[in-house]
Every structure is written in C-alpha cells, then in structure tokens.
Amino acid sequence: MEINWKHFTDKIEIMPEVLVGTVVLYILIILYTRVFGLKSFSKMTGFDFLNTVAIGNLLAMSAATSSPSLFVGALLIGLLYLINYLVTVLMFKSDTGQNLMDNSPILLMRDGKILEENLEKTKVTKDELRGKLREANVIRLSEVRAVVLETTGDVSVLHTDGDEKLEDFIMTDVRDY
C-alpha cells in the first residue's frame, strides 16, 4: 500500500491565510455575540439552533476553503446574527409572530400515561421515549408527571417520587396539557 503524501500537503501554501482567517472570524463571532447576546447560540428555538449550525458551517467554510471568502463569510455570519436577533424580537413582542415562527411544545406523556396520538403526530417512537425516560432516571411510569417534546427537539421529562402536581406556569405553552 502506497501512501499519497500529496493528500496531506496539497495547498499547504494557504496555511497562513487559513490561520489568519480563522482568528479573524473567531474574534468577529465573539464581537457579534457580545452585540447580539448569548441567546444567539442557545437552543431555545429552532431558529436559534439553525443559527448556531449555520454560523459554524460558515466559519469552517470561510476559514478552511475560502469559499465564501473571509469578508463574505464575516458578512453572512453578521447577517445571521442580525436575522436571529430580529426573529427573537418579533417573537418576544408579538404572540402572532411567535405562533407563526415557532412550534409549540407538545405533551408526549401525562401523569404516567403515554399519549399515543401525540407520539404518532411527532413521529417519536416508544423506544425513543423509553430512552428519554431512562436518561431522566425514571424507574416507574407512575413517577412521570409530563414528558414534553420541546420546540428544539429536546425531550423534557418532569417526574417526582411523590404526588406533587405541576405548576400551570411550567406547562402554559404546551399543547394538549
């Protein structure tokens, strides 16, 4: 078996540009995050998650391949921060905007009972549900007060070993509660 060394050394002449580009973009991301806030990297909504993935992708592409160029990559990353900020403001100030832009969390279990119809709607399998229950250290279904599929795709398991009730505030925006 012959090793193709060119694979490892091809385009080595652009290493200084890659190093400088990576540092510049990294500093810009820090500055953008200071201006637009840490929520830009949260997973509170699908838009926040999309923003995080897109920024990471643009950082990698601009720094490593120069496509898009450093300047265009920096501009696109800044635009993503701005758009995410504007979407957040719209959702914060308008219930209609929030309803249009974001999904509602949906209940998958309530008081120890699996809501089969909601599992089917969300395409969550019982195996996936069981896995999330185990991750939350649930040992009896009767402990489960609620399992919620959040807008980010995360699953929240609310459980107790007593007969405590959930406060309405926690479940206000959850469908089928």
Q: Is the pLDDT of residue 69 over 80?
A: yes
Question: What is the Cα–Cα distance from 6 to 18, expressed in whole angstroms?
Answer: 18
Domain with CATH 3.30.240.20 in the chain: 106-171
Fold of 106-171: CRO Repressor (3.30.240)
Task: Indicate the SS3 state at residue 120.
Answer: helix
Question: What is the Cα–Cα distance from 54 to 56, expressed in whole angstroms?
Answer: 5
Picking from 69-78, 89-98, 108-117, which range would have the lowest pLDDT averaged per residue? 89-98
Confidence band (pLDDT; 50, 70, 90) for 130? very high
Confidence band (pLDDT; 50, 70, 90) for 145? very high
Q: Is the pLDDT of residue 137 over 90?
A: yes
Question: What is the Cα–Cα distance from 128 to 41, expressed in whole angstroms?
Answer: 26
Q: Which residue from 143, 144, 148 is spatially nearest to 173, judged by alpha carbons?
A: 148
Task: Indicate the SS3 state at residue 159.
Answer: strand
Look-up of token digits 């080595």: 12
Q: Is the pLDDT of residue 62 over 90?
A: no
What is the model's pTM?
0.67
